[in-house]
Amino acid sequence: MATKPSIPKGTRDFSPAEMAKRNYIFNTIRDVFYLYGFQQIETPAMENLSTLMGKYGEEGDKLLFKIQNSGDYFSGLTDEELLSRNAAKLASKFCEKGLRYDLTVPFARYVVMHRDEITFPFKRFQIQPVWRADRPQKGRYREFYQCDADVVGSNSLLNEVELVQMIDAVFAKFGIRVCVKINNRKILTGIAEIIGEADKIVDITVAIDKLDKIGLDNVNAELASKGIAQEAIDKLQPIILLSGSNEEKLATLKTVLAGSETGLKGIEESEFILSRVAQLGMKAEVELDLTLARGLNYYTGAIFEVKALDVQIGSISGGGRYDNLTGVFGMDGMSGVGISFGADRIYDVLNQLDLYPKEAADATQLLFVNFGEAEAEYVLPFLFKVREAGIRAEIYPDSAKMKKQMSYANAKSVPFVAIAGENEMKEGKIMLKNMESGEQSLLTLVELITVIKG
Amino acid sequence: MATKPSIPKGTRDFSPAEMAKRNYIFNTIRDVFYLYGFQQIETPAMENLSTLMGKYGEEGDKLLFKIQNSGDYFSGLTDEELLSRNAAKLASKFCEKGLRYDLTVPFARYVVMHRDEITFPFKRFQIQPVWRADRPQKGRYREFYQCDADVVGSNSLLNEVELVQMIDAVFAKFGIRVCVKINNRKILTGIAEIIGEADKIVDITVAIDKLDKIGLDNVNAELASKGIAQEAIDKLQPIILLSGSNEEKLATLKTVLAGSETGLKGIEESEFILSRVAQLGMKAEVELDLTLARGLNYYTGAIFEVKALDVQIGSISGGGRYDNLTGVFGMDGMSGVGISFGADRIYDVLNQLDLYPKEAADATQLLFVNFGEAEAEYVLPFLFKVREAGIRAEIYPDSAKMKKQMSYANAKSVPFVAIAGENEMKEGKIMLKNMESGEQSLLTLVELITVIKG
């Protein structure tokens, strides 16, 4: 009768072992957010569709999970409307709510709704799941967590400096070697101004990005094929071939973009950010990279992206400066800058590089073996006391075979097992077994606590 | 153009101040779960409707939030079906997924799906939001968190003992004085057997519960009005008037239920649990209370409920023993016992009793005032170093008026403010202001760190 249960495609269960790893990731990121003075908020999983629709483009609207209205969702619908079978149009009649698609739009909505309670600049972080009706594939899920930190209500470039330091701090804690790539939308705008091809900026960055793979001639050919004039391509040559240190790149750009006020502003901003983070001693590489064009419709100043050096994988963190977070909700002039950490990719990187801490921070440290009712009654006060001392401990609840209890200890990777039979009870002690070394010692309660607390 | 945004009714945003309190609650509960050897799992927000439907009764099915299928959800529907406007029936065609309604059914589904990876007994906890399309009202939300801990795959009463200790540990940490009420389904079954009114057990517990308010005569009258025979009411007298210590109550019950094997088993179980927790020294009151009948359809052994002693509010935690968690998914014989903490009610109780820790564990400890570019550049290395020392610190990003920066520090309840102008820069030091006392001292970096780390 009962069918074998399953979960919706693109979603995941997380086992205790996976949760230990995920908690390690989220706790590490959260601790750095706190260290930098960011404060946590949470928003509901469900938002009104009026809040979500139209914010992610036409494609995004289709990827929203919509929640059917409770009760009679047919009310007010004519036969014609129903029989039209217009799925998109009728969804808006059947549904008023949807699951959040990212953390940015709910954050913008939050800022507008709570503007009178918030003290600006507002340094907020948010670590919550989001949902997208994307076609599931390897590494892409329909439910996944985002970890975002943003500062809104401040135009200071110190915020950019701090965010780059935060990126550095997070990946240093993980032990993941990374390169932080930095670009600036204003530099890209300057390039477009100089060559008179404002609408071609994405084509240009895509072509430049291929230099290493296809060589200069082919890059130039690709630019021409995209309808960029020969004169413009000529002007682009120093930019395509841009190389050397960040300082050298900026010096070249200053010459090329001398005629663009916006371009020079972008260079100045990048100089500020790069020089400050250099002074403060970054562990990560930091590289000015003009091919970085993520979120180009959205970002107005600095753009960040983080690549892992030792694993082939897409960017594992990214962000940038934006001008008008809340304009779509009728509140103008709220600029900000933020970054987002890709928890799922970081999970994969830590796995591939075997960088998880060997000792799970929250796992059981001590298991009391259960030999029967009398023995269990003898060990219960010990169990109570070791917990009072802060040791994570448990008793095997049933007086099962020793082998079964030891398998349980092994499956949970419990490092110490406490045994109390007739002899131990007579002496008022506990036999403690170190599961790694196999060593056993007969101990008093105080000794037991001392050994385990190391 | 833009309308003022809002959130769906029955949902909530959580501000930084609220999040600090909520994190305190969840972290406290989580730490106790870990201390007792429980392991965390997470399941997806969305489950297949086939997993959820029929598990919460007809009323529960109506309260499920259903998610509209992506793409053309009309496919395969005839005109007649559409025009029937049968909301409930068509919902099952339009929707294949729903939001989880509790953590128990997803847990059961998890156990069945992962039975081969799990080492039993499985001590799992889960802290995640659930969604119910209930009519919102004060204290009742459409999105709220549940905090559940269960042990499955063990019949040992030691699990019950440990859960009661966990309840005690959690509320002791919160500083909330509570009474843990304990009942046993087998005792209730025994009572029904003895008086020959098996189907009247809820009526009986409801009536007994009114003894203090309406007096014995009225309780007996109510029992009679529910169709319970006079002979049965006579037999019930010692149970209605049950009083004294837990031991005295159990002694009375042993006499009354002498003829019911099940009843005696329930008494024996309760004796075991009550005697063990008494030996281990509970801070909470523990009371055998036969009127406790929560989840009577579900629980088969011990039943727990926790009442706050100093606040008028419903139960703030509860749970019990069940026989067959996973039978509905085709896996029989998986008994277990669990408890659930009501985070929203605990939040209210802590607020009413003003029991939150005065110092937020994750808030900024030190704010550097920003007097301009040169001063900011001077303090950045200090900022970097204090963070390396583990101090949560930030710099006000803009060189705003002093008053504005101090308001910011006050709004975030920052205890220390660091000031560096011309004099401090000359001396290579920082002026540290204690925001509570107003005291200022000129300090080196090392002194600064020492003062703040206290």
Residue B348 in contact with residue B327, Cβ under 8 Å? no
Q: What is the largest CA-CA distance in chain A?
A: 96
What's the pLDDT at A453? Answer: 92
Q: Tell me: pLDDT of B154 over 60.
A: yes
Closest CA to B386 of B422, B418, B434, B410: B418
Q: Report yes or no: A380 at the B interface, CB cutoff 8 Å.
A: yes
What is the count of residue pairs from A and B with beta carbons less than 8 Å apart? 312
- For range B268-283, the mean pLDDT: 94
Choose from A4, A40, A115 for mutation: most chain B CBs within 10 A: A40
B7 vs A50: CA distance, rounded Å: 10
E strand or H helix that includes residue B81: helix B79-83
Where does residue B117 rank: exposed (0-12), middle (13-18), buried (19+ CB within 10 A)?
exposed
Using left for φ > 0, alpha for ψ between -120 and 50, and beta otherwise, residue B67 falls in beta
Kindly indicate the confidence band of residue B321, based on its pLDDT and cuts at 50, 70 and 90.
very high
- Chain B nearest C-alpha distance from A451 (Å): 17
**DSSP line for A187-224:** HHHHHHHHHT-GGGHHHHHHHHTTHHHHHHHHHHHHHH
Contacts of B391 by beta carbon, 8 Å cutoff, 6+ apart: A35, B365, B366, B449, B452, B453
| Residues of chain B numbered 169-188 and touching chain A (CB < 8 Å) | 169
Task: Give SS3 for B332.
Answer: coil
Residue in A closest to B108 by C-alpha: A5
DSSP E strand boundaries for A3-76: 39-40, 46-48, 66-68
What's the pLDDT at A1? Answer: 45
Q: Would you state the structure tokens that stand for residue A147, as one six-digit string? A: 């970890």
B2 vs B132: CA distance, rounded Å: 30
User: In terms of DSSP H, where are the helices of A64-210?
Assistant: 79-83, 87-94, 104-113, 158-174, 185-195, 201-208
Could you tell me the sign of the dihedral formed by the alpha carbons of B48, B49, B54, B58, in that order? positive
Would you call B82 and A82 a contact, using CB atoms and an 8 Å cutoff? yes
Choose from B156, B166, B384 for mutation: most chain A CBs within 10 A: B156
Q: Pick from A109, A113, A397: which is nearest to B151 by CB?
A: A397
CA distances (Å), A356 to each of A176, B41, B219, B306, in order? 11, 18, 62, 39
B271 φ, ψ to 5°?
Answer: -60, -45
B165: chain A residues, CB-CB within 8 Å: 384
- Chain B nearest C-alpha distance from A46 (Å): 7
- Chain A nearest C-alpha distance from B254 (Å): 23
Q: How many CB atoms lie within 10 A of CB B297?
A: 7
Kindly indicate the confidence band of residue B3, based on its pLDDT and cuts at 50, 70 and 90.
low
Q: Report yes or no: B154 at the A interface, CB cutoff 8 Å.
A: yes
Contacts of B61 by beta carbon, 8 Å cutoff, 6+ apart: B53, B54
Reduced to 3 DSSP states, what percent helix, strand and coil does chain B have, rounded to the nearest 5? 45, 20, 35
Would you call B83 and A87 a contact, using CB atoms and an 8 Å cutoff? no
Q: Would you state the structure tokens that stand for residue A256, as one six-digit string? A: 């090329």
DSSP 8-state symbol, B328? G
Would you call B68 and A94 a contact, using CB atoms and an 8 Å cutoff? yes
Closest CA to A339 of A300, A297, A305: A305
- For range B237-256, the mean pLDDT: 94
What's the pLDDT at B322? Answer: 94
Q: Would you state the structure tokens that stand for residue B353, as one six-digit string? A: 């009793």
B341-399 pLDDT per residue, tens: 999 999 999 999 999 998 777 999 999 999 999 999 999 999 999 999 999 999 999 99
Q: Report yes or no: B384 at the A interface, CB cutoff 8 Å.
A: yes
The CA R_g of chain B, rounded to the nearest whole Å, is 29
Kindly indicate the confidence band of residue B120, based on its pLDDT and cuts at 50, 70 and 90.
very high
What's the pLDDT at B337? Answer: 97
**B309 or A195, which is more confident?**
B309
- How many residues are given for chain B? 454
B4: chain A residues, CB-CB within 8 Å: 112-113, 329-330
Q: Report yes or no: A85 at the B interface, CB cutoff 8 Å.
A: yes
Would you call B67 and A67 a contact, using CB atoms and an 8 Å cutoff? yes
B381 vs B375: CA distance, rounded Å: 11
Using left for φ > 0, alpha for ψ between -120 and 50, and beta otherwise, residue A157 falls in alpha
State how beta strands B122-131 and B39-40 pair: parallel
A407 vs A397: CA distance, rounded Å: 14
Average confidence score pLDDT of chain B: 93
Residue B111 in contact with residue B122, Cβ under 8 Å? yes
CA torsion A98-A103-A107-A110 (nearest 10°) is 40
ipTM rounded to 2 decimals: 0.94
Q: Would you state the structure tokens that stand for residue A338, as one six-digit string? A: 């933020």
**DSSP line for A298-349:** TEEEEEEEEEESSS--S-SEEEEEES-SSGGGT-----EEEEEE-HHHHHHH
A317 vs A303: CA distance, rounded Å: 11
A94 vs A88: CA distance, rounded Å: 10
- Chain B nearest C-alpha distance from A312 (Å): 28
- How many residues are given for chain A? 454
Would you call A280 and B380 a contact, using CB atoms and an 8 Å cutoff? yes
A327 φ, ψ to 5°?
Answer: -55, -35
Q: Report yes or no: B50 at the A interface, CB cutoff 8 Å.
A: yes
Kindly indicate the confidence band of residue B2, based on its pLDDT and cuts at 50, 70 and 90.
low
B433 vs B417: CA distance, rounded Å: 5
Q: How far is CA B369 from its chain centroid?
A: 41
A407: chain B residues, CB-CB within 8 Å: 119
Task: Give SS3 for A268.
Answer: helix
- Chain A nearest C-alpha distance from B75 (Å): 9
- Chain A nearest C-alpha distance from B96 (Å): 9
- Chain B nearest C-alpha distance from A190 (Å): 26
Would you call A87 and B71 a contact, using CB atoms and an 8 Å cutoff? yes
Q: Tell me: pLDDT of B118 over 90.
A: yes
Would you call A13 and B68 a contact, using CB atoms and an 8 Å cutoff? no
What's the pLDDT at B89? Answer: 81
B3: chain A residues, CB-CB within 8 Å: 50, 330
What's the pLDDT at B85? Answer: 85
Q: Going edge to edge, which strands form the sheet with B366-368?
A: B393-395, B366-368, B416-419, B430-434, B440-443
B19: chain A residues, CB-CB within 8 Å: 39-42
Instruction: End-to-end CA distance of chain B: give it in Å, rounded.
Output: 53
What's the pLDDT at B201? Answer: 85
Q: Report yes or no: A280 at the B interface, CB cutoff 8 Å.
A: yes
- Chain B nearest C-alpha distance from A452 (Å): 14
Would you call B113 and A393 a contact, using CB atoms and an 8 Å cutoff? no
Q: Report yes or no: B330 at the A interface, CB cutoff 8 Å.
A: yes
B181 vs B316: CA distance, rounded Å: 12
Q: Tell me: pLDDT of B266 over 70.
A: yes
Would you call B11 and A46 a contact, using CB atoms and an 8 Å cutoff? yes
- Chain B nearest C-alpha distance from A313 (Å): 25
What's the pLDDT at B137? Answer: 87
Q: Pick from B8, B15, B117: which is nearest to A46 by CB?
A: B8
Would you call A44 and B8 a contact, using CB atoms and an 8 Å cutoff? yes
Kindly indicate the confidence band of residue B211, based on its pLDDT and cuts at 50, 70 and 90.
confident
Q: Tell me: pLDDT of B451 over 70.
A: yes
Q: Report yes or no: B284 at the A interface, CB cutoff 8 Å.
A: no
Q: Report yes or no: A165 at the B interface, CB cutoff 8 Å.
A: yes
Q: Would you state the structure tokens that stand for residue B222, as one six-digit string? A: 């109510």
Closest CA to A147 of A177, A174, A114, A179: A174
| Residues of chain B numbered 396-415 and touching chain A (CB < 8 Å) | 396-398, 407-408, 411-412
Would you call B46 and A113 a contact, using CB atoms and an 8 Å cutoff? no
Q: Report yes or no: A35 at the B interface, CB cutoff 8 Å.
A: yes
| Residues of chain A numbered 412-431 and touching chain B (CB < 8 Å) | 412
B38-97 pLDDT per residue, tens: 999 999 999 999 999 999 988 899 999 999 998 778 878 888 888 888 887 888 889 999
Choose from A1, A3, A4, A7 for mutation: most chain B CBs within 10 A: A7
B397 φ, ψ to 5°?
Answer: -70, -30
Q: Going edge to edge, which strands form the sheet with B285-288?
A: B39-40, B122-131, B143-152, B336-341, B317-322, B302-308, B178-184, B285-288
Q: Pick from B2, B15, B328: which is nearest to A2 by CB?
A: B328
> In one letter, which amino acid is B382?
F
Place of tokens 């086992």: A15
> In one letter, which amino acid is B447?
E
Tell me the β-bridge partners of B39: B124
B158-168 pLDDT per residue, tens: 999 999 999 99
- For range B304-312, the mean pLDDT: 96
pLDDT along chain A (454 residues), means of 10: 82 97 97 98 97 92 93 82 84 91 97 96 98 90 97 97 97 97 95 87 86 91 92 91 94 95 97 94 93 82 96 94 92 94 95 90 94 95 96 97 96 96 96 96 97 92
Range of A98-102, A311-315, B218-222, B277-281 with top mean pLDDT: A98-102
Kindly indicate the confidence band of residue B1, based on its pLDDT and cuts at 50, 70 and 90.
very low
Would you call A85 and B62 a contact, using CB atoms and an 8 Å cutoff? no
CA torsion B422-B423-B426-B432 (nearest 10°) is -110
A37 vs B360: CA distance, rounded Å: 13
A280: chain B residues, CB-CB within 8 Å: 380-381, 384
Q: Report yes or no: B14 at the A interface, CB cutoff 8 Å.
A: yes
